[in-house]
Structure 1
């Protein structure tokens, strides 16, 4: 697809300079890969989701607001389910979790991965069967592990020798034998931002493969016989497009499987290759489909198992961003437009880094479009910024918007389902936005907007 078909132009394209011309039609266009599948631009120029205009959403729920296309989210669950029909698919709840989403992914046949007591509480309160829950985390407390055991979660991914001892003691007290996987740090440098790469040696997660800790953790669990060791787990990072990292990870983890078999005579029945599958945030991103991922991962695992003379283990994966990320966009209202001659134009919206920290934290790129109307004005290279007292409060670094963008317009930013509401804050005492699910032309509130009363209720001083 040509870049000008994206409906969004970014810094890498803008560097081509003024000779690279765009038209109002380009700016009004919507690139399907960036938006929920039901999003269209109506005859009056307003963006609509599942048949409901964003103007109606803003009028009823205010802005900023996260807008979730429920049919889109469910269809992405089904895409993964169809591509991985015999594997376990654990939706990574850290991407975005609320009770409504728990119910959606449960109804679509997915499992759920949680990594804190709060996420576990949300899952259980929404009725997720505990046997379909996996519990991650590098520093699970005694209280968190106790609750997981008492609830009967399906598996716990152990992350340290301290945790193995802690969990073993709790299991002995209760007379239970929880299923566990050992998280292995395989030494793979994923091609992603350093803060979301999780398989290189110098980071907090898992047991080192190169240093022998991973093998020793497996031996310890097997020798003590209290916990049921089901397999190994590897997660190499997030927003990954290159499958070569998964190939290296699988090769190293399966070599450890063979080492465990040779040393203890036990062939572990499960393997979790994690998640981190990338999505399109801009026209420059080209993510793999679930079908492509399934084909590549199966080929990798089958080949490595054959090389190690291992039976192919039961495979599980953990997509989070790939399911919820494209299913949500954030709707803002423009407050001010500030032109700096010869530099750039700043379009300030009524949210910012408190509802999307990823641009500031990871230098993430996003797209944006004028959503409340179409425009015949010429394109204007703008920076969409928030209302916070911080120069790094940037939502979209570089984007072409119509030159007549003005206060009161609605601007929509796609691809905000993952890690935006989950990482939202109250910086500058700004209440966090609501989440609205839209289906068949109807909108319902699934996470309400915070209020100033909510903020003050926590302030006991």
Structure 2
């Protein structure tokens, strides 16, 4: 048994992946988050349960905001930092982010509605998406959304038409693909050409000319997002250089300097202690990004534009913890070939399957991306020897895995509470009702108090949506049923 697998290490709470407030109580030795015991939280709000440490989320928002702004100021410009609504959005979290000086990016009419309900200033909202509906565009323009990100030539005409009809001039950015493929999962890399977002960089002059042809559109710059969960700045370096390389041509088309550049973000975070040494410091990322922009602007002879960043999960991810209750456990023998297939499994002759009361319905990332997570026994400490554990859910899928591989005390048993770290981003927002399992609630904790910020669902609520005996509907007769409608513009 190595030093890392001693029982003391199994009981440790690593605040590189858990919120800074997470610790074991001095007497009860239970996990506490925001000074509240995990079992008190599940007793009050149920299990599974998403827990968000408000202080951790706010602190990280300030850290990211200050780092990017100060480095932008160093090179003679300003920076706007957008909170990623898709990572996790509810009214209260939107309020936190606005209060901490972050703008909000949204990717649907629903996310826009949440941001507006939270009192977020419309001019600080950026509206993303590759298929914004006419009604969504109308709502965004009417609300005074600060920037709409154009994802295709069709959207140029749609947004211009809506803005003209409303007598407004709408600020827009053009999303382009720089061709830089971030070193991440293919589904998280968003700037190579063969994917649904954005436009080829080579098409930027033609599309910008189209935008400039509309008096109802105010073109403010390019937008690019090279991916998510990015640990290095090399991709940003090349992407920024390619984007700024076309700014001289765009400036000629516009007859003025292009005032802004959104470099995206997707800064990576550690999901496991093993990743903690690799995760970049926000201050280092900010410094390197600023240097990249300054050098590229000097190279191409363009003034340094106002910058915008979308740091993504790095703001909210570590602030979240999911609590589960163990239902069953079983040990499975590892054949020699199975153990040898993954070096991390060597030294263990069996795997302990620990089934909990949630699963892929509350955390789809392991199934979608093969994501790793870190788990600890939350309701007690244990002196038992470590077991190679796989935490799995209750769904009817063999891929229903919450934590693919971690070490838990070998005496973990039914009724125990487990805590999975770093679940603040892309867990609740990707949640589903697979197998008719209700989505869990979300609670915010701070300084010994807890409050519900997203209500959980009940089976009765799910059942009420299942309609029986509704009045049948049939389409109205049409004179030319086979006529193909004209293309929408």
Q: Provide the residue aligned with 2:388 in structure 1.
A: 381
Residues in 2 aligned to 1:124 and 1:225: alpha-carbon distance in whole angstroms: 27
Once the two structures are TM-superposed, the CA of residue 225 in structure 1 deviates from its matched residue by 3.0
Superposition pairs of residues 147-296 of structure 1, within 5 angstroms: 147-209=139-201, 212-285=202-275, 286-296=278-288
Q: Provide the residue aligned with 1:3 in structure 2.
A: none
Once the two structures are TM-superposed, the CA of residue 172 in structure 1 deviates from its matched residue by 1.1
Aligned counterpart for 2:371 among listed residues 364, 368, 378: 364
Once the two structures are TM-superposed, the CA of residue 262 in structure 1 deviates from its matched residue by 3.5
Aligned counterpart for 1:59 among listed residues 43, 54, 64: 43
Q: Secondary structure at the match of 1:273?
A: strand
Contact kept? 1:161, 1:217, Cα under 8 Å = yes
Q: Secondary structure at the match of 2:174?
A: strand
Aligned counterpart for 1:416 among listed residues 411, 423, 426: 423
Aligned counterpart for 1:454 among listed residues 447, 461, 474: 461
Contact kept? 1:355, 1:420, Cα under 8 Å = yes
Once the two structures are TM-superposed, the CA of residue 223 in structure 1 deviates from its matched residue by 2.7
Residues in 1 aligned to 2:47 and 2:205: alpha-carbon distance in whole angstroms: 51
- Aligned positions, number: 442
Deviations for 1:189-216, whole angstroms, at most 9, x for unmatched residues?
110000111000000101111xx32221
Aligned counterpart for 2:34 among listed residues 47, 50, 55: 50
Q: Secondary structure at the match of 1:138?
A: coil
In structure 2, runs of 5+ residues without a counterpart are 70-77, 335-349, 469-489
Deviations for 1:65-98, whole angstroms, at most 9, x for unmatched residues?
0000000000001101221234111101000000
Aligned counterpart for 2:15 among listed residues 32, 35, 48: 32
Residues in 2 aligned to 1:420 and 1:353: alpha-carbon distance in whole angstroms: 9
Deviations for 1:25-61, whole angstroms, at most 9, x for unmatched residues?
0101122210111111112220001111101101101
Q: Give the 4+ runs in structure 1 shifted more than 6 A.
A: 18-21
Aligned counterpart for 1:299 among listed residues 288, 291, 301: 291
Is 2:82 the counterpart of 1:98? no
User: Which of these two proteins has the greater Rg computed from alpha carbons?
Assistant: 2
Once the two structures are TM-superposed, the CA of residue 224 in structure 1 deviates from its matched residue by 2.8
Contact kept? 1:65, 1:331, Cα under 8 Å = yes
| TM-score (normalizing by structure 1) | 0.94
| TM-score (normalizing by structure 2) | 0.89
Q: Secondary structure at the match of 2:318?
A: coil
Residues in 2 aligned to 1:459 and 1:22: alpha-carbon distance in whole angstroms: 49
Deviations for 1:346-365, whole angstroms, at most 9, x for unmatched residues?
00000000000000110001
Aligned counterpart for 1:318 among listed residues 293, 296, 310: 310
Once the two structures are TM-superposed, the CA of residue 270 in structure 1 deviates from its matched residue by 0.4
Once the two structures are TM-superposed, the CA of residue 264 in structure 1 deviates from its matched residue by 4.1
Deviations for 1:80-118, whole angstroms, at most 9, x for unmatched residues?
122123411110100000001011001111100001000
Deviations for 1:148-204, whole angstroms, at most 9, x for unmatched residues?
011000110000011101111111111110000000111111100001110000001
Q: Provide the residue aligned with 1:7 in structure 2.
A: none
Contact kept? 1:207, 1:217, Cα under 8 Å = no
Residues in 2 aligned to 1:399 and 1:81: alpha-carbon distance in whole angstroms: 33
Contact kept? 2:351, 2:387, Cα under 8 Å = no
Residues in 2 aligned to 1:21 and 1:218: alpha-carbon distance in whole angstroms: 56
Contact kept? 1:158, 1:181, Cα under 8 Å = yes
Q: Secondary structure at the match of 2:273?
A: coil
Which deviates the most, 286-295 or 129-138? 286-295
Q: Provide the residue aligned with 1:135 in structure 2.
A: 127
In structure 1, runs of 5+ residues without a counterpart are 1-17
Residues in 2 aligned to 1:438 and 1:174: alpha-carbon distance in whole angstroms: 43
Which deviates the most, 126-135 or 77-86? 77-86
Residues in 2 aligned to 1:263 and 1:120: alpha-carbon distance in whole angstroms: 32
CA-based RMSD of the aligned residues comes to: 1.2
Residues in 2 aligned to 1:154 and 1:328: alpha-carbon distance in whole angstroms: 29
| CA spacing shift, 1:325–1:21, aligned 2, 3 Å | closer
Residues in 2 aligned to 1:152 and 1:24: alpha-carbon distance in whole angstroms: 56
Deviations for 1:203-261, whole angstroms, at most 9, x for unmatched residues?
0101111xx32221111111333200011101000000010010111001101212212
Aligned counterpart for 1:439 among listed residues 443, 446, 454: 446
